[in-house]
Amino acid sequence: MYAIVDIAGQQFKVEQGQQIYVHRLEGNEGDALTFDKVLLVDNGGKATVGTPTVKGASVSAKVLSHLKGDKVLVFKKKRRKGYQKMNGHRQQFTKIEISGISAN
């Protein structure tokens, strides 16, 4: 059984027991979360597609940790002008584990 769920503005295909990294979510480590924006549920080949969401379906998850992603360097330069600008960014992520999918 799997579901396609909208978490923090992104769509993920999730299964029970799967661990995924999503953009930083509110909540402490060990907290339980529930996501109601389920777009599709597939139970053994029988798919239920929402319009736009599946009514009564939800995905429950547990927050494992908060962490930062790899550093991305942004370098800007204009040739022959002496202009150089270096900037770095590290995205904030939350690691969650999918604990269950319910499709009432």
Phi, then psi, of 70 in degrees rounded to 5: -70, 155
Domain that holds residue 64: 2-103
pLDDT band at 103 (very low <50, low <70, confident <90, very high): confident
For residue 104, is pLDDT > 80?
no
Question: pLDDT (tens digit, 9 = 90+) per residue, 28-40?
Answer: 999 999 999 999 9
For the entire predicted model, the pTM comes to 0.84
Q: What is the pLDDT of residue 72?
A: 98
Of the two residues 44 and 97, the one the predictor is more confident about is: 97
Return mean pLDDT, the chain.
96
What is the number of structural domains in the chain? 1
